[in-house]
Protein backbone atom coordinates (compact mmCIF):
# COMPACT_ATOMS: atom_id res chain seq x y z
CA UNK A 1 0.00 0.00 0.00
CA UNK A 2 2.98 2.31 0.36
CA UNK A 3 4.22 1.83 -3.21
CA UNK A 4 5.81 4.83 -4.80
CA UNK A 5 5.06 5.99 -8.30
CA UNK A 6 6.23 8.90 -10.38
CA UNK A 7 3.69 11.41 -11.54
CA UNK A 8 2.85 10.30 -15.09
CA UNK A 9 3.97 12.53 -17.97
CA UNK A 10 3.47 15.84 -16.19
CA UNK A 11 6.06 17.75 -18.13
CA UNK A 12 5.40 16.31 -21.60
CA UNK A 13 1.70 15.95 -22.35
CA UNK A 14 2.33 15.74 -26.10
CA UNK A 15 4.50 13.44 -28.23
CA UNK A 16 8.05 14.57 -28.87
CA UNK A 17 7.28 15.22 -32.54
CA UNK A 18 4.58 17.74 -31.69
CA UNK A 19 5.24 21.36 -32.51
CA UNK A 20 2.89 22.49 -29.75
CA UNK A 21 4.79 23.85 -26.70
CA UNK A 22 4.15 21.90 -23.50
CA UNK A 23 2.50 24.81 -21.67
CA UNK A 24 0.22 25.59 -24.63
CA UNK A 25 -0.68 21.92 -24.84
CA UNK A 26 -1.63 21.88 -21.16
CA UNK A 27 -3.88 24.92 -21.54
CA UNK A 28 -5.55 23.50 -24.64
CA UNK A 29 -6.07 20.19 -22.85
CA UNK A 30 -7.66 21.89 -19.83
CA UNK A 31 -9.92 23.99 -22.07
CA UNK A 32 -10.95 20.89 -24.04
CA UNK A 33 -11.84 18.95 -20.91
CA UNK A 34 -13.80 21.90 -19.50
CA UNK A 35 -15.89 22.16 -22.67
CA UNK A 36 -16.52 18.42 -22.60
CA UNK A 37 -17.60 18.09 -18.97
CA UNK A 38 -19.57 21.34 -19.04
CA UNK A 39 -22.25 19.47 -21.00
CA UNK A 40 -22.60 16.80 -18.32
CA UNK A 41 -23.03 19.33 -15.50
CA UNK A 42 -25.46 21.58 -17.35
CA UNK A 43 -27.63 18.60 -18.28
CA UNK A 44 -28.14 17.71 -14.61
CA UNK A 45 -30.42 20.75 -14.18
CA UNK A 46 -31.34 22.18 -17.57
CA UNK A 47 -34.18 19.74 -18.32
CA UNK A 48 -36.19 20.58 -15.19
CA UNK A 49 -36.75 24.17 -16.35
CA UNK A 50 -38.04 23.03 -19.77
CA UNK A 51 -40.25 20.26 -18.36
CA UNK A 52 -43.61 22.09 -18.69
CA UNK A 53 -42.99 22.83 -22.40
CA UNK A 54 -41.90 19.24 -23.06
CA UNK A 55 -45.03 17.89 -21.35
CA UNK A 56 -47.30 20.20 -23.34
CA UNK A 57 -45.79 19.48 -26.76
CA UNK A 58 -45.21 15.73 -26.44
CA UNK A 59 -48.12 14.91 -24.12
CA UNK A 60 -45.89 13.24 -21.52
CA UNK A 61 -47.28 12.25 -18.15
CA UNK A 62 -45.83 13.72 -14.97
CA UNK A 63 -44.33 10.30 -14.14
CA UNK A 64 -42.87 10.06 -17.64
CA UNK A 65 -41.27 13.48 -17.24
CA UNK A 66 -39.74 12.37 -13.95
CA UNK A 67 -38.17 9.46 -15.79
CA UNK A 68 -36.74 11.84 -18.39
CA UNK A 69 -34.98 13.69 -15.56
CA UNK A 70 -34.04 10.60 -13.53
CA UNK A 71 -32.83 8.38 -16.41
CA UNK A 72 -29.78 10.62 -16.86
CA UNK A 73 -28.80 10.52 -13.17
CA UNK A 74 -29.47 6.78 -12.89
CA UNK A 75 -27.24 6.03 -15.86
CA UNK A 76 -24.51 8.30 -14.50
CA UNK A 77 -24.47 6.51 -11.15
CA UNK A 78 -24.64 3.05 -12.69
CA UNK A 79 -21.77 3.37 -15.19
CA UNK A 80 -19.26 5.74 -13.59
CA UNK A 81 -17.09 2.95 -12.18
CA UNK A 82 -16.97 1.21 -15.57
CA UNK A 83 -16.14 4.50 -17.26
CA UNK A 84 -13.22 5.04 -14.93
CA UNK A 85 -11.87 1.56 -15.53
CA UNK A 86 -12.24 1.76 -19.31
CA UNK A 87 -10.42 5.11 -19.27
CA UNK A 88 -7.40 3.39 -17.72
CA UNK A 89 -7.53 0.35 -19.99
CA UNK A 90 -8.21 2.06 -23.34
CA UNK A 91 -6.51 5.37 -22.61
CA UNK A 92 -7.84 8.61 -21.19
CA UNK A 93 -7.85 10.60 -24.44
CA UNK A 94 -9.54 7.84 -26.43
CA UNK A 95 -12.25 7.24 -23.84
CA UNK A 96 -12.89 10.97 -23.47
CA UNK A 97 -13.53 11.18 -27.22
CA UNK A 98 -15.75 8.08 -27.21
CA UNK A 99 -17.76 9.43 -24.29
CA UNK A 100 -18.12 12.86 -25.89
CA UNK A 101 -19.37 11.39 -29.18
CA UNK A 102 -21.81 9.10 -27.35
CA UNK A 103 -23.12 12.02 -25.31
CA UNK A 104 -23.57 14.44 -28.21
CA UNK A 105 -25.21 11.91 -30.52
CA UNK A 106 -27.69 11.05 -27.76
CA UNK A 107 -28.26 14.77 -27.17
CA UNK A 108 -29.08 15.36 -30.84
CA UNK A 109 -31.49 12.42 -30.81
CA UNK A 110 -33.17 13.76 -27.65
CA UNK A 111 -33.76 17.04 -29.45
CA UNK A 112 -35.11 15.19 -32.49
CA UNK A 113 -37.70 13.20 -30.53
CA UNK A 114 -40.82 12.68 -32.71
CA UNK A 115 -44.31 13.51 -31.51
CA UNK A 116 -46.69 10.64 -30.85
CA UNK A 117 -46.95 7.60 -28.65
CA UNK A 118 -43.24 6.71 -28.88
CA UNK A 119 -42.05 10.13 -27.66
CA UNK A 120 -41.85 9.22 -23.97
CA UNK A 121 -39.88 6.00 -24.50
CA UNK A 122 -37.62 7.70 -27.07
CA UNK A 123 -36.73 10.57 -24.74
CA UNK A 124 -36.17 8.36 -21.68
CA UNK A 125 -33.98 5.95 -23.67
CA UNK A 126 -31.68 8.57 -25.13
CA UNK A 127 -31.47 10.46 -21.83
CA UNK A 128 -30.09 7.22 -20.37
CA UNK A 129 -27.60 7.02 -23.26
CA UNK A 130 -26.59 10.61 -22.46
CA UNK A 131 -25.84 9.48 -18.91
CA UNK A 132 -23.75 6.60 -20.25
CA UNK A 133 -21.76 8.99 -22.44
CA UNK A 134 -21.18 11.30 -19.47
CA UNK A 135 -20.05 8.36 -17.32
CA UNK A 136 -17.52 7.36 -19.99
CA UNK A 137 -16.35 10.92 -20.60
CA UNK A 138 -15.99 12.49 -17.16
CA UNK A 139 -13.47 10.11 -15.49
CA UNK A 140 -11.33 10.22 -18.63
CA UNK A 141 -11.48 14.02 -18.85
CA UNK A 142 -10.44 14.48 -15.23
CA UNK A 143 -7.67 11.92 -15.70
CA UNK A 144 -6.34 13.91 -18.67
CA UNK A 145 -6.12 17.06 -16.50
CA UNK A 146 -4.36 15.11 -13.73
CA UNK A 147 -1.97 13.54 -16.22
CA UNK A 148 -0.82 16.66 -18.06
CA UNK A 149 -0.28 18.95 -15.06
CA UNK A 150 2.63 18.44 -12.63
CA UNK A 151 1.70 17.74 -9.02
CA UNK A 152 2.67 21.18 -7.71
CA UNK A 153 0.26 22.88 -10.19
CA UNK A 154 -2.48 20.29 -10.15
CA UNK A 155 -4.44 21.87 -7.29
CA UNK A 156 -5.00 25.12 -9.16
CA UNK A 157 -5.78 23.34 -12.43
CA UNK A 158 -8.35 21.12 -10.77
CA UNK A 159 -9.73 24.09 -8.82
CA UNK A 160 -10.53 25.69 -12.17
CA UNK A 161 -11.83 22.37 -13.51
CA UNK A 162 -14.19 21.69 -10.59
CA UNK A 163 -15.04 25.36 -10.02
CA UNK A 164 -16.12 26.08 -13.58
CA UNK A 165 -17.69 22.68 -14.17
CA UNK A 166 -19.50 22.62 -10.84
CA UNK A 167 -20.74 26.17 -11.29
CA UNK A 168 -22.28 25.19 -14.61
CA UNK A 169 -24.78 23.10 -12.64
CA UNK A 170 -26.29 26.42 -11.57
CA UNK A 171 -26.12 27.89 -15.07
CA UNK A 172 -28.23 25.01 -16.43
CA UNK A 173 -31.57 26.51 -15.36
CA UNK A 174 -30.60 29.98 -16.64
CA UNK A 175 -29.56 28.62 -20.02
CA UNK A 176 -32.57 26.33 -20.08
CA UNK A 177 -34.98 29.20 -19.46
CA UNK A 178 -33.43 31.27 -22.26
CA UNK A 179 -33.31 28.42 -24.80
CA UNK A 180 -36.83 27.26 -23.97
CA UNK A 181 -38.15 30.67 -25.00
CA UNK A 182 -37.08 29.65 -28.52
CA UNK A 183 -37.73 25.90 -28.39
CA UNK A 184 -37.21 23.33 -25.65
CA UNK A 185 -35.38 21.11 -28.17
CA UNK A 186 -32.52 23.63 -28.11
CA UNK A 187 -31.58 22.52 -24.57
CA UNK A 188 -30.29 19.31 -26.19
CA UNK A 189 -29.00 20.77 -29.46
CA UNK A 190 -26.80 23.28 -27.64
CA UNK A 191 -24.51 20.37 -26.73
CA UNK A 192 -23.54 19.83 -30.40
CA UNK A 193 -21.37 22.96 -30.91
CA UNK A 194 -19.91 22.56 -27.42
CA UNK A 195 -18.87 18.97 -28.21
CA UNK A 196 -17.33 20.05 -31.53
CA UNK A 197 -15.21 22.66 -29.73
CA UNK A 198 -14.11 20.06 -27.15
CA UNK A 199 -13.07 17.57 -29.84
CA UNK A 200 -11.18 20.19 -31.90
CA UNK A 201 -9.29 21.45 -28.84
CA UNK A 202 -8.42 17.87 -27.86
CA UNK A 203 -6.91 17.27 -31.29
CA UNK A 204 -4.98 20.56 -31.19
CA UNK A 205 -3.60 19.79 -27.71
CA UNK A 206 -2.03 16.56 -29.04
CA UNK A 207 -2.68 14.77 -25.77
CA UNK A 208 -0.84 11.46 -25.54
CA UNK A 209 -3.06 8.37 -25.18
CA UNK A 210 -1.68 5.94 -22.57
CA UNK A 211 -3.66 2.67 -22.54
CA UNK A 212 -2.93 -0.09 -20.02
CA UNK A 213 -3.45 -3.53 -21.48
CA UNK A 214 -5.43 -5.25 -18.74
CA UNK A 215 -8.65 -7.29 -18.81
CA UNK A 216 -11.93 -5.59 -17.87
CA UNK A 217 -14.03 -7.12 -15.11
CA UNK A 218 -17.34 -7.21 -16.99
CA UNK A 219 -19.04 -9.26 -14.25
CA UNK A 220 -18.13 -6.58 -11.74
CA UNK A 221 -19.33 -3.90 -14.17
CA UNK A 222 -22.71 -5.62 -14.49
CA UNK A 223 -23.05 -6.05 -10.72
CA UNK A 224 -22.10 -2.46 -9.81
CA UNK A 225 -24.39 -1.08 -12.52
CA UNK A 226 -27.29 -3.21 -11.30
CA UNK A 227 -26.62 -2.43 -7.63
CA UNK A 228 -26.24 1.31 -8.17
CA UNK A 229 -29.16 1.45 -10.57
CA UNK A 230 -31.56 -0.44 -8.30
CA UNK A 231 -30.66 1.39 -5.10
CA UNK A 232 -30.72 4.84 -6.74
CA UNK A 233 -34.01 3.97 -8.43
CA UNK A 234 -35.55 3.09 -5.09
CA UNK A 235 -34.25 6.25 -3.45
CA UNK A 236 -35.38 8.53 -6.27
CA UNK A 237 -38.81 6.94 -6.57
CA UNK A 238 -39.46 6.89 -2.82
CA UNK A 239 -41.26 10.23 -3.00
CA UNK A 240 -43.64 8.80 -5.62
CA UNK A 241 -44.00 5.21 -4.45
CA UNK A 242 -43.80 6.07 -0.76
CA UNK A 243 -41.36 4.87 1.88
CA UNK A 244 -43.88 2.23 2.92
CA UNK A 245 -44.01 0.67 -0.55
CA UNK A 246 -42.58 -2.81 -1.03
CA UNK A 247 -41.21 -1.70 -4.43
CA UNK A 248 -39.17 1.08 -2.79
CA UNK A 249 -37.52 -1.26 -0.30
CA UNK A 250 -37.12 -4.08 -2.82
CA UNK A 251 -35.06 -1.76 -5.01
CA UNK A 252 -33.04 -0.25 -2.14
CA UNK A 253 -32.34 -3.49 -0.25
CA UNK A 254 -31.91 -5.50 -3.44
CA UNK A 255 -29.49 -2.93 -4.85
CA UNK A 256 -27.44 -2.83 -1.65
CA UNK A 257 -27.33 -6.64 -1.57
CA UNK A 258 -26.01 -6.70 -5.13
CA UNK A 259 -23.34 -4.14 -4.15
CA UNK A 260 -22.29 -6.36 -1.22
CA UNK A 261 -21.91 -9.29 -3.62
CA UNK A 262 -19.91 -7.00 -5.91
CA UNK A 263 -17.50 -6.06 -3.09
CA UNK A 264 -16.99 -9.71 -2.10
CA UNK A 265 -16.23 -10.75 -5.68
CA UNK A 266 -13.92 -7.77 -6.26
CA UNK A 267 -11.74 -8.83 -3.34
CA UNK A 268 -11.34 -12.25 -4.97
CA UNK A 269 -10.82 -11.11 -8.57
CA UNK A 270 -7.32 -10.87 -10.04
CA UNK A 271 -8.18 -7.83 -12.16
CA UNK A 272 -11.11 -6.17 -10.38
CA UNK A 273 -13.17 -3.30 -11.73
CA UNK A 274 -12.39 -1.35 -8.56
CA UNK A 275 -9.31 -1.96 -6.41
CA UNK A 276 -11.03 -1.78 -3.03
CA UNK A 277 -7.67 -1.75 -1.25
CA UNK A 278 -7.48 1.98 -2.04
CA UNK A 279 -9.95 2.47 0.84
CA UNK A 280 -7.23 1.22 3.20
CA UNK A 281 -5.73 4.68 2.73
CA UNK A 282 -7.34 6.59 5.62
CA UNK A 283 -7.03 9.90 3.78
CA UNK A 284 -8.78 8.50 0.69
CA UNK A 285 -11.57 7.08 2.83
CA UNK A 286 -11.96 10.43 4.64
CA UNK A 287 -12.00 12.33 1.33
CA UNK A 288 -14.83 10.16 0.02
CA UNK A 289 -16.79 10.37 3.27
CA UNK A 290 -16.60 14.18 3.10
CA UNK A 291 -17.74 14.10 -0.53
CA UNK A 292 -20.61 11.74 0.29
CA UNK A 293 -22.16 13.96 2.96
CA UNK A 294 -21.35 17.22 1.13
CA UNK A 295 -23.07 16.03 -2.05
CA UNK A 296 -26.29 15.40 -0.10
CA UNK A 297 -26.47 19.20 -0.10
CA UNK A 298 -24.60 20.35 -3.21
CA UNK A 299 -26.53 18.83 -6.12
CA UNK A 300 -30.02 18.80 -4.51
CA UNK A 301 -29.77 22.48 -3.51
CA UNK A 302 -30.14 23.54 -7.14
CA UNK A 303 -33.38 21.60 -7.55
CA UNK A 304 -34.88 22.73 -4.25
CA UNK A 305 -33.83 26.36 -4.71
CA UNK A 306 -35.26 26.42 -8.25
CA UNK A 307 -38.62 25.07 -7.10
CA UNK A 308 -38.61 27.40 -4.08
CA UNK A 309 -38.02 30.43 -6.30
CA UNK A 310 -40.86 29.47 -8.67
CA UNK A 311 -43.38 28.43 -5.99
CA UNK A 312 -42.67 30.57 -2.91
CA UNK A 313 -41.30 33.66 -4.66
CA UNK A 314 -43.57 33.28 -7.73
CA UNK A 315 -40.67 33.79 -10.12
CA UNK A 316 -40.41 32.80 -13.77
CA UNK A 317 -37.98 30.05 -14.83
CA UNK A 318 -35.49 32.71 -15.98
CA UNK A 319 -35.72 34.56 -12.67
CA UNK A 320 -35.37 31.27 -10.76
CA UNK A 321 -32.17 30.55 -12.69
CA UNK A 322 -30.76 33.91 -11.62
CA UNK A 323 -31.68 33.11 -8.00
CA UNK A 324 -29.41 30.07 -8.23
CA UNK A 325 -26.49 32.16 -9.43
CA UNK A 326 -26.28 33.74 -5.97
CA UNK A 327 -25.02 30.36 -4.70
CA UNK A 328 -22.40 30.33 -7.45
CA UNK A 329 -21.25 33.81 -6.39
CA UNK A 330 -19.85 32.15 -3.27
CA UNK A 331 -18.96 28.81 -4.84
CA UNK A 332 -16.62 30.13 -7.56
CA UNK A 333 -14.20 32.12 -5.35
CA UNK A 334 -14.44 29.46 -2.64
CA UNK A 335 -13.30 26.85 -5.13
CA UNK A 336 -10.27 28.91 -6.15
CA UNK A 337 -9.30 29.56 -2.52
CA UNK A 338 -9.72 25.87 -1.70
CA UNK A 339 -7.40 24.91 -4.56
CA UNK A 340 -4.69 27.28 -3.34
CA UNK A 341 -5.04 26.03 0.24
CA UNK A 342 -4.67 22.48 -1.07
CA UNK A 343 -1.41 23.37 -2.85
CA UNK A 344 0.05 25.08 0.25
CA UNK A 345 -1.30 23.10 3.21
CA UNK A 346 -2.90 19.90 1.94
CA UNK A 347 -6.56 18.83 1.86
CA UNK A 348 -7.43 18.73 5.56
CA UNK A 349 -7.52 22.50 6.37
CA UNK A 350 -9.78 23.55 3.45
CA UNK A 351 -12.09 20.57 4.05
CA UNK A 352 -12.48 21.49 7.71
CA UNK A 353 -13.03 25.16 6.90
CA UNK A 354 -15.37 24.42 4.00
CA UNK A 355 -17.61 21.98 5.85
CA UNK A 356 -17.88 24.36 8.84
CA UNK A 357 -18.63 27.44 6.70
CA UNK A 358 -21.20 25.65 4.55
CA UNK A 359 -22.95 24.07 7.54
CA UNK A 360 -23.33 27.51 9.13
CA UNK A 361 -24.41 29.01 5.80
CA UNK A 362 -27.14 26.44 5.19
CA UNK A 363 -28.41 26.74 8.77
CA UNK A 364 -28.62 30.55 8.55
CA UNK A 365 -30.26 30.29 5.13
CA UNK A 366 -32.87 27.95 6.63
CA UNK A 367 -33.60 30.47 9.38
CA UNK A 368 -34.42 33.12 6.73
CA UNK A 369 -36.28 30.93 4.26
CA UNK A 370 -39.72 32.26 5.27
CA UNK A 371 -38.59 35.82 4.51
CA UNK A 372 -39.80 35.84 0.92
CA UNK A 373 -37.07 38.15 -0.27
CA UNK A 374 -33.69 37.49 -1.84
CA UNK A 375 -32.38 40.52 0.03
CA UNK A 376 -32.89 38.73 3.36
CA UNK A 377 -31.26 35.49 2.17
CA UNK A 378 -28.39 36.28 -0.19
CA UNK A 379 -25.54 36.62 2.38
CA UNK A 380 -26.26 33.13 3.71
CA UNK A 381 -26.70 31.63 0.24
CA UNK A 382 -23.29 33.03 -0.71
CA UNK A 383 -21.82 31.65 2.54
CA UNK A 384 -23.23 28.18 1.85
CA UNK A 385 -21.84 28.25 -1.69
CA UNK A 386 -18.42 29.44 -0.53
CA UNK A 387 -18.15 26.58 1.95
CA UNK A 388 -19.01 23.97 -0.68
CA UNK A 389 -16.47 25.54 -3.03
CA UNK A 390 -13.76 25.43 -0.37
CA UNK A 391 -14.13 21.71 0.30
CA UNK A 392 -15.03 20.28 -3.10
CA UNK A 393 -11.75 20.73 -4.97
CA UNK A 394 -9.44 19.64 -2.10
CA UNK A 395 -11.48 16.50 -1.31
CA UNK A 396 -11.77 15.48 -4.97
CA UNK A 397 -8.15 16.27 -5.86
CA UNK A 398 -6.66 14.64 -2.77
CA UNK A 399 -8.64 11.47 -3.49
CA UNK A 400 -7.42 11.36 -7.09
CA UNK A 401 -3.79 11.99 -6.04
CA UNK A 402 -3.91 8.92 -3.81
CA UNK A 403 -4.76 6.54 -6.64
CA UNK A 404 -2.96 3.22 -6.82
CA UNK A 405 -0.63 2.50 -9.76
CA UNK A 406 -1.61 5.80 -11.44
CA UNK A 407 -5.16 4.54 -12.07
CA UNK A 408 -6.64 8.03 -12.10
CA UNK A 409 -9.64 7.08 -14.21
CA UNK A 410 -10.57 4.27 -11.85
CA UNK A 411 -10.32 6.43 -8.72
CA UNK A 412 -12.28 9.20 -10.40
CA UNK A 413 -14.94 6.60 -11.14
CA UNK A 414 -15.07 5.73 -7.43
CA UNK A 415 -15.33 9.33 -6.23
CA UNK A 416 -17.92 10.32 -8.83
CA UNK A 417 -20.00 7.23 -8.06
CA UNK A 418 -19.95 8.24 -4.39
CA UNK A 419 -20.99 11.77 -5.32
CA UNK A 420 -23.86 10.76 -7.61
CA UNK A 421 -25.16 8.14 -5.20
CA UNK A 422 -25.21 10.59 -2.29
CA UNK A 423 -26.86 13.28 -4.45
CA UNK A 424 -29.61 10.80 -5.30
CA UNK A 425 -29.99 9.98 -1.62
CA UNK A 426 -30.28 13.67 -0.78
CA UNK A 427 -32.87 14.29 -3.49
CA UNK A 428 -34.97 11.32 -2.37
CA UNK A 429 -34.90 11.79 1.39
CA UNK A 430 -35.06 15.59 1.45
CA UNK A 431 -37.63 15.59 -1.35
CA UNK A 432 -39.88 13.33 0.70
CA UNK A 433 -39.47 15.62 3.71
CA UNK A 434 -40.35 18.66 1.59
CA UNK A 435 -43.45 17.13 0.04
CA UNK A 436 -44.85 15.65 3.24
CA UNK A 437 -44.24 18.86 5.19
CA UNK A 438 -45.80 20.96 2.43
CA UNK A 439 -48.87 18.72 2.27
CA UNK A 440 -49.37 18.96 6.02
CA UNK A 441 -48.88 22.74 6.11
CA UNK A 442 -51.22 23.41 3.19
CA UNK A 443 -53.91 21.12 4.57
CA UNK A 444 -53.80 22.90 7.95
CA UNK A 445 -53.96 26.34 6.28
CA UNK A 446 -56.95 25.41 4.14
CA UNK A 447 -58.85 23.85 7.04
CA UNK A 448 -58.20 26.96 9.16
CA UNK A 449 -59.56 29.03 6.26
CA UNK A 450 -62.84 27.10 6.38
CA UNK A 451 -62.18 24.66 3.52
CA UNK A 452 -63.70 21.19 4.15
CA UNK A 453 -61.15 18.57 5.15
CA UNK A 454 -61.68 16.43 2.01
CA UNK A 455 -61.28 19.43 -0.29
CA UNK A 456 -58.25 20.61 1.66
CA UNK A 457 -56.67 17.20 1.23
CA UNK A 458 -57.27 17.25 -2.54
CA UNK A 459 -55.87 20.76 -2.98
CA UNK A 460 -52.80 19.89 -0.89
CA UNK A 461 -52.19 16.83 -3.06
CA UNK A 462 -52.52 19.01 -6.18
CA UNK A 463 -49.87 21.42 -4.92
CA UNK A 464 -47.41 18.65 -4.03
CA UNK A 465 -48.09 16.84 -7.32
CA UNK A 466 -47.09 20.00 -9.16
CA UNK A 467 -43.81 20.05 -7.26
CA UNK A 468 -43.19 16.33 -7.85
CA UNK A 469 -43.78 16.72 -11.55
CA UNK A 470 -41.41 19.70 -11.83
CA UNK A 471 -44.37 21.72 -13.05
CA UNK A 472 -45.33 25.29 -12.39
CA UNK A 473 -46.14 24.91 -8.75
CA UNK A 474 -46.56 28.61 -8.28
CA UNK A 475 -49.91 28.75 -10.09
CA UNK A 476 -53.00 29.36 -7.99
CA UNK A 477 -54.97 26.17 -7.24
CA UNK A 478 -58.44 26.19 -8.73
CA UNK A 479 -61.11 27.64 -6.43
CA UNK A 480 -58.63 29.19 -4.00
CA UNK A 481 -58.48 32.95 -3.43
CA UNK A 482 -55.42 35.14 -3.71
CA UNK A 483 -54.99 35.45 0.06
CA UNK A 484 -55.06 31.69 0.51
CA UNK A 485 -52.66 31.25 -2.40
CA UNK A 486 -50.20 33.57 -0.65
CA UNK A 487 -50.61 31.49 2.51
CA UNK A 488 -49.89 28.31 0.54
CA UNK A 489 -46.72 29.87 -0.85
CA UNK A 490 -45.70 30.72 2.71
CA UNK A 491 -46.44 27.12 3.75
CA UNK A 492 -44.18 25.83 1.01
CA UNK A 493 -41.45 28.28 1.99
CA UNK A 494 -41.66 27.07 5.58
CA UNK A 495 -41.39 23.45 4.40
CA UNK A 496 -38.02 24.27 2.83
CA UNK A 497 -36.61 25.04 6.27
CA UNK A 498 -36.22 21.38 7.32
CA UNK A 499 -34.64 20.64 3.92
CA UNK A 500 -31.93 23.26 4.42
CA UNK A 501 -31.42 22.25 8.05
CA UNK A 502 -30.99 18.67 6.79
CA UNK A 503 -28.28 19.87 4.41
CA UNK A 504 -26.59 21.73 7.28
CA UNK A 505 -26.68 18.53 9.36
CA UNK A 506 -25.13 16.53 6.50
CA UNK A 507 -22.29 19.05 6.26
CA UNK A 508 -21.78 18.91 10.03
CA UNK A 509 -21.25 15.16 9.64
CA UNK A 510 -18.85 15.91 6.77
CA UNK A 511 -16.88 18.13 9.19
CA UNK A 512 -16.51 15.16 11.56
CA UNK A 513 -15.32 13.02 8.64
CA UNK A 514 -12.74 15.68 7.71
CA UNK A 515 -11.34 15.44 11.24
CA UNK A 516 -10.46 11.80 10.48
CA UNK A 517 -8.16 12.86 7.63
CA UNK A 518 -4.56 12.24 8.79
CA UNK A 519 -3.32 15.47 7.23
CA UNK A 520 -0.67 13.73 5.12
CA UNK A 521 0.12 15.26 1.74
CA UNK A 522 0.94 13.72 -1.63
CA UNK A 523 4.15 15.15 -3.06
CA UNK A 524 6.31 14.43 -6.10
CA UNK A 525 8.87 12.65 -3.93
CA UNK A 526 6.65 10.66 -1.60
CA UNK A 527 3.85 9.48 -3.88
CA UNK A 528 0.58 8.53 -2.19
CA UNK A 529 0.87 8.57 1.60
CA UNK A 530 -1.12 5.88 3.30
CA UNK A 531 -2.68 7.33 6.44
CA UNK A 532 -2.72 5.01 9.39
55-59, 74-78, 520-524: segment of lowest average pLDDT? 520-524
HEC readout, 174-207 = HHHHHHHCCCCCHHHHCHHHHHHHHHHHHHHHCC
What's the rounded Cα separation, in Å, for the pair 460 and 438?
Answer: 8
pLDDT, residue 468, reads 45
pLDDT, residue 388, reads 94
Verify that 182 and 203 share a domain, yes or no: yes
Q: Which residue, of 175, 197, 215, is where some domain finishes?
A: 215
pLDDT of 213-260, one tens digit each?
878 888 988 898 888 778 877 876 776 777 788 998 999 999 999 999
20-56: burial string, b at 16+ Cβ within 10 Å, e else: eeeebbbebbbbbbbbbbbbbbbbbbbbbbbbbbbbe
Verify that 15 and 68 share a domain, yes or no: yes
- Residue 471 banded pLDDT, cuts 50, 70, 90: very low
Instruction: Check if the beta carbon of residue 33 is closer than 8 Å to that of residue 96.
Output: yes
Q: Does pLDDT of 3 surpass 60?
A: no
* 225: in domain: yes
* 532: in domain: no
* 523: in domain: no
| Domain count within the chain | 3
- Residue 426 banded pLDDT, cuts 50, 70, 90: confident
pLDDT of 85-106, one tens digit each?
888 888 889 999 999 999 999 9
Verify that 509 and 477 share a domain, yes or no: yes
Residue, of 117 and 289, whose pLDDT is higher: 289
pLDDT, residue 374, reads 85
Verify that 57 and 126 share a domain, yes or no: yes
pLDDT, residue 12, reads 44
Q: What is the CATH number of the domain that holds 330?
A: 1.20.1250.20
Provide the domain limits for residue 209: 10-215
Verify that 357 and 250 share a domain, yes or no: no
* 126: in domain: yes
What's the rounded Cα separation, in Å, for the pair 142 and 408?
Answer: 8
- Of 40, 75, 292, the C-alpha closest to 171 is 40
26-40, 47-61, 486-500: segment of lowest average pLDDT? 47-61
pLDDT, residue 118, reads 86
pLDDT, residue 464, reads 64
Residue, of 212 and 39, whose pLDDT is higher: 39
* 531: in domain: no
Burial class, 354, CB count within 10 angstroms (exposed 0-12 / middle 13-18 / buried 19+):
buried
Verify that 211 and 221 share a domain, yes or no: no
Verify that 399 and 508 share a domain, yes or no: yes
Verify that 296 and 388 share a domain, yes or no: yes
Verify that 206 and 352 share a domain, yes or no: no
Residue, of 506 and 141, whose pLDDT is higher: 506
Q: Which residue, of 215, 233, 257, is where some domain finishes?
A: 215
Residue 527 φ then ψ, to 5°: 70, -165
H or E element that contains 150: none
- Mean pLDDT estimate for the chain: 80
* Alpha carbon distances (Å) from 470 to 128, 188, 364, 404: 19, 18, 26, 42
Average pLDDT value for residue range 497-504: 96
Average pLDDT value for residue range 429-435: 81
| Spatial CB neighbours of 314, under 8 Å, sequence gap ≥ 6 | 474, 489
Q: Which residue, of 215, 242, 262, is where some domain finishes?
A: 215
Average pLDDT value for residue range 469-473: 43
Instruction: Specify the long-range contacts of residues 22-25, CB closer than 8 Å, at least 24 apart.
Output: 25/148, 25/205, 25/206, 25/207
Verify that 249 and 288 share a domain, yes or no: no
* 528: in domain: no
Q: Does pLDDT of 115 surpass 90?
A: no
Verify that 381 and 411 share a domain, yes or no: yes
Average pLDDT value for residue range 20-41: 82
pLDDT, residue 405, reads 56
* 1: in domain: no
pLDDT of 165-202, one tens digit each?
666 666 676 777 778 778 889 889 989 999 999 999 99
Verify that 203 and 229 share a domain, yes or no: no
pLDDT, residue 512, reads 97
* 258: in domain: yes
Residue, of 123 and 477, whose pLDDT is higher: 123
User: What is the CB-side half-sphere exposure of residue 460 using CA atoms within 13 A?
Assistant: 22
Q: Does pLDDT of 412 surpass 80?
A: no
Amino acid sequence: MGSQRPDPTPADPAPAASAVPAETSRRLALAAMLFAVSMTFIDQTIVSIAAPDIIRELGLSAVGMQWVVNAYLLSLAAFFALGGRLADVLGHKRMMLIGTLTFVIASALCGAVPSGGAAESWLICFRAVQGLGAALMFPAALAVVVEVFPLERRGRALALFFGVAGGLTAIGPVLGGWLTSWTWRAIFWVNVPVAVIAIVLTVLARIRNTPRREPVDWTGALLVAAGMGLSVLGLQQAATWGWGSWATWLCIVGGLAVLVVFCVLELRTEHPLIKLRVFADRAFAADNAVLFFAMIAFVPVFFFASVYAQVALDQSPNEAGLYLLVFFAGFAPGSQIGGRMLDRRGARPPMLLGTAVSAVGFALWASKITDLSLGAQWPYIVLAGAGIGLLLTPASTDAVNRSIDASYGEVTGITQTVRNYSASLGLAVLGTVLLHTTTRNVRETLVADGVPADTAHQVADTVTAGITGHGSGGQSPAGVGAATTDAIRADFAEANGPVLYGMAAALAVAFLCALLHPGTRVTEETGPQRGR
